[in-house]
Amino acid sequence: MKRKLRGRGVAASWYGIARTATIDRAGAWAELDDGGTAKIVTGVTEIGEGILTVLAQVAAEELGIRPEDVTIGDNDTARSPEAAHAGATRQTYMIGNSVALAAREARGKLFAEIADHWEVSAEQLRAFNGEIWVEDTNKRMTMGEAVARCKARGVVPVGAASFTAHGTGLDPVDGSGSPWQAYVFGTQVAEVEVDTVTGEVQVLGIWAAHDVGRVINPRGVEGQIEGGVAQGLGQALMEEWQTDKGHPVTHGFAKYILPTSLDIPEITSILVEDRDPKSPLGAKGIGEPALVPTAPAIMNAIYDAIGVRMKSLPATPEKVLAALAAKEGAAA
Amino acid sequence: MPDTLTHPTVTAVTLDLTINGRRQRVQADPGARLLDVLRDGLMLTGAKEGCGAGECGTCSVFVDGKLIKSCLMPAAKAQGAEVETVEGLARTGDLTAVQKAFHKTGASQCGYCIPGMVMAATATLRDNPDADIEEIKERMGGNICRCTGYSKIFEAVEIARDVIAGRLPHTALDPEAVGNSFIGHNTRRLDAPSKVTGRLRYAGDMVMPGMLHMQVLRSPHAHAKIVSIDTTEAEAYPGVHCVLTCDDVPGEDGFGVFVEDQPVMARDKVRHVGEAVAAVAADSVRTAREAMALIRVEYDELPGLFDPEDALKSGAPVIHDYAADNVVKHIPVRKGDIAAGFSAADVILEESFSTQQVEHAYLEPEAGLAYVDHDGVVTVVSPSQNITHHRHMLSHIIAKPINKVRFIMSPVGGGFGGKEDMIYQGMLALAAMKTRRPVKLVFTREESFVASAKRHPSRTRCRMGLTKAGRITAVEFEMLSDGGAYGMSSEGVMRKAAILSCGPYEIENLKVDTKVVYTNNTPSGAFRTFGGMQAQFATESMMDMAAERLGMDPFEIRRVNMMRAGSLTHTQQKLASAAIDRVLDAAEGASGWEKGAPSVRGESRGDLDGPGTRRPCTLGARVRETATDRFRP
């Protein structure tokens, strides 16, 4: 047997978006502000996934301004509407859509005033990237001017909205029910190299294809996939919280081994868009689903390389060597 | 006063340092680390404490031009040294090329590791401006990131390297032009400048005038009765403002995501090692620790449960009185008739799988700050992933109306589900109410590990029947999970595991049972995928084993069974659309997959080592020796 053997494996996956088997809801407020800026207030924020930027892009698109003109207001139960928790792959779907709806309402108030000012119908108005204009005419002004005009007419352009996802509970006997209104699917291919002397597995490549509904920020989605793959790889090969009669054995980073820059494969992300028909944005989500197929794809690749089926995670060098020895023992 | 710099019983030492080009004199506790002097003395909080043991790199700074981990350096050792922190990299106010590149590529996510990453990247390019990707990876190997998967960080360092060397124009760092929509545009992260400069303040970086420091006494036992807690000596200790136990809870004690089975501090008994038993708020962390050592707790050890199978045996110790069978939740899913399904099968496979308990390992340990405001509103600032629910729970715990309880979500330095549980905010609120002073608590890494929830470990037995053509006729799927000492998110995790169990396939006959039990292990809770990963690891392994048995390509067997528009899911929901066909095609195409049954054909494959793979890593071989190699001892 060659010392280092390579193989490939694939795994598919699926996942539900937002809270499970229950109705989910989120609220947001929007205000088109002086200078063509905006305030968006919602009760939940960034845990690293890039939701602030996504919300700013969504608000900018709806309001006709630029993402950097948007200020996202506090994650504060006493100062902002309920948006519930930062989890369940629900941020883009729940908060993104509630911000889109709130921004539309604010825009509607501004458009009504500007349409009246220009003596056109609101349907003829377009706004993008800091400007508002009447299609096929020379009527055009900055969004800063439009907000000033709107306020001079006595109107502050504000909006508020709530977005609902209609999940239902499961039947207690047969589990039937509609836990989510939006589903995503993913497939990952892993390529590994197994050192048959040390038992070490290196993941060299991951090709990750994920349906995200509609991509708001491609780099942000890739970042979520790359991070999910790294966590999936950690769980597949090295991480394990161990206790002995309840007492921790792996109590710090010296004992609890995490993937570092040297463990990371080349990751190729392929973003598939199957738009969600039940929401204004059409986007779904990617946070959690990104890591579901990683570990089984790696285990399937290890099997392809050395013919041992790793059924117990993590596939540490010790376990891989033991499995190889058992296989050779069985063959002898 | 900054905490570690003053203590009544020790004499401070005077340090003269050059910090970011400016000479400064600071007083420090002789035991202080350089990190303490920077953070507490000089308010330079860009350097973070991720582990306090030199293992994660979040505290990286330059000392006399050399990259070091400031949590390992005694402050006194830096006497006379030139120290450069992340705040000093771009003194003119503009970002450096490295920082701009991090901004451009989206290299920061939660941002907690990012100041350290920026320092390590800067060190890499200062040491070798021509470092190739392999050398970059190796030089940055001492810095852990839990969010990004490192890829965008590598990309940023390579862009910065080429801009600095003049191989790329400075415009390579500019934002991407926008077309006719901001949807689908690579808008740069709005929070990135605050993260790459170290300006963003996480809860542990925040200070308030008059702020006290909390430390938590934790259980040394996995399962024990609390006979008595004597706090007399601790309360009398100079500098202590209050000592808390469960007796200080004025309302209905209990929190949890699905079942509120966990007291703010242990009540009558402890159920896992590391459970909070009492808390001290004092003038300094050190005083709080010293007082904590004076709390006398008498325990009466109980037999413990450490294996989920044991938890189900008759006569097993009972961990929570309300659940005499130790079962937190059982979720059944039934569809069709599995007996008929298995009798229609040409082959039947049966296997068992297991997954381990996994730590979230966010780089930001838990931290929080609580105060009572001028209107009597009890306010908790913390990186909570669920301020809405925490507000509800705290309101009944402290017996105040909802509008007298306020939660503010501070920037979260990584969560992944691990910051959904209200494991310390209750203690902070009680201390703030009792002392009428702001109170801050920052977990150590060890404390974060022992007290926070983990990913549920699982044992799964899966039986799958298929026709010769690869069509699944029936699946029987049983999962047993160890929920540990408290319910936390266990119920929801089992529900999601059951719903998703059999994967993205339309299966007419199935029987799924997921069950989670109490033990005296570290609690399991919410963790990115919420049970979905554990279940689908088993199913996706089975799919490949079935494909080998039937001589089918693994993509093909998945296509034969995949859900389609109109399919009924395992819970009998009719799908309007299912993009599984498209993602299978996309992954197969992008990877250049060579068709064939998964029968150990690695050695003969023709699709290996192509585009989209990296070189395998051989440690130490890649750092180039340069004329000015400062890494050499």
**DSSP-assigned states of every residue in B530-561:** TTHHHHHHHHHHHHHHHHHHHT--HHHHHHHH
CB contact under 8 A, B419 and A239: no
Neighbours of A284 (CB within 10 A): 28
Enumerate the residues of chain B whose CB falls inside 8 A of the CB of residue A267.
149, 151
Residue A35 Rama label (left phi>0; alpha psi -120 to 50; beta): left
pLDDT in tens, B67-80: 999 999 999 999 99
Q: How many residues does chain B have?
A: 633
Mutate to test the interface with A, among B60, B124, B137, B151 (most CBs of A within 10 A): B151
Question: Average pLDDT, stretch A174-188?
Answer: 98
Whole-angstrom distance, CA of residue A296 vs CA of residue B539: 9
Is the domain defined by B13-88 classed in CATH 3.10.20.30? yes
Residue A212 domain boundaries: 4-16+180-331
Task: Name the closest residue on chain B to residue A224, using Cα atoms.
Answer: B148
Choice among A49, A135, A288, A328 that is catalytic:
A288
Strand B347-355 relative to strand B22-28: parallel, antiparallel, unpaired? Answer: unpaired
Task: Name the closest residue on chain B to residue A63, using Cα atoms.
Answer: B182
Whole-angstrom distance, CA of residue A145 vs CA of residue B489: 50
Neighbours of B597 (CB within 10 A): 17
pLDDT grade for B9, boundaries at 50, 70 and 90: low
Q: What is the pTM of this model?
A: 0.97
Task: Name the closest residue on chain B to residue A232, using Cα atoms.
Answer: B533
Given this model, what pLDDT does residue B632 score? 40
Whole-angstrom distance, CA of residue A120 vs CA of residue A253: 65
Enumerate the residues of chain A whose CB falls inside 8 A of the CB of residue B335.
174, 176
Strand B296-301 relative to strand B224-230: parallel, antiparallel, unpaired? Answer: antiparallel
CB contact under 8 A, A78 and B409: no
Locate A14 and state its tokens: 């699926």
Whole-angstrom distance, CA of residue A14 vs CA of residue A188: 12
Enumerate the residues of chain B whose CB falls inside 8 A of the CB of residue A323.
none
Enumerate the residues of chain B whose CB falls inside 8 A of the CB of residue A243.
273, 306, 357, 521-522
CB contact under 8 A, B536 and A292: yes
CATH number (domain holding residue A283): 3.30.365.10
Question: Average pLDDT, stretch B327-354?
Answer: 98
**Is 80 exceeded by the pLDDT of residue B365?**
yes
Whole-angstrom distance, CA of residue A327 vs CA of residue A141: 75
Given this model, what pLDDT does residue B298 score? 98
Residues A233 and A315 reside in one and the same domain: yes
CB contact under 8 A, B272 and A246: yes
pLDDT in tens, B486-498: 999 999 999 999 9
Helix and strand numbers, DSSP H then E, in chain B:
17, 20
CB contact under 8 A, B304 and A49: no
Residues A211 and A317 reside in one and the same domain: yes
Q: How far is CA A215 from CA A127, A129, B477, in A?
A: 21, 19, 34
Residues A143 and A55 reside in one and the same domain: yes
Q: Higher pLDDT residue, A45 or B432? A: B432
Enumerate the residues of chain A whose CB falls inside 8 A of the CB of residue B143.
260-261
Q: Where are the domains of chain B?
A: 13-88, 97-177+188-200
pLDDT grade for B631, boundaries at 50, 70 and 90: very low
In a domain, A314, yes or no: yes
A135 is catalytic: no
Residues A8 and A40 reside in one and the same domain: no
**Residue in the block written with tokens 């601790």:** B234
Residues A124 and A263 reside in one and the same domain: no
Q: Rounded to a whole number, what is the distance in Å from the CA of A104 to chain B's nearest CA?
A: 15
In the CATH scheme, what is the homologous superfamily, with its name and number, of domain B97-177+188-200? [2Fe-2S]-binding domain (1.10.150.120)
Identify residue B520 by its one-letter amino acid code. Answer: N
**Is 50 exceeded by the pLDDT of residue B163?**
yes
Residues A108 and A240 reside in one and the same domain: no
In a domain, A263, yes or no: yes
Task: Name the closest residue on chain B to residue A256, using Cα atoms.
Answer: B359
**Is 70 exceeded by the pLDDT of residue B7?**
no
Helix segments in B490-531, DSSP class H:
490-500
pLDDT in tens, A251-266: 999 999 999 999 999 9
CB pairs under 8 A between A and B: 490
Residues A272 and A311 reside in one and the same domain: yes
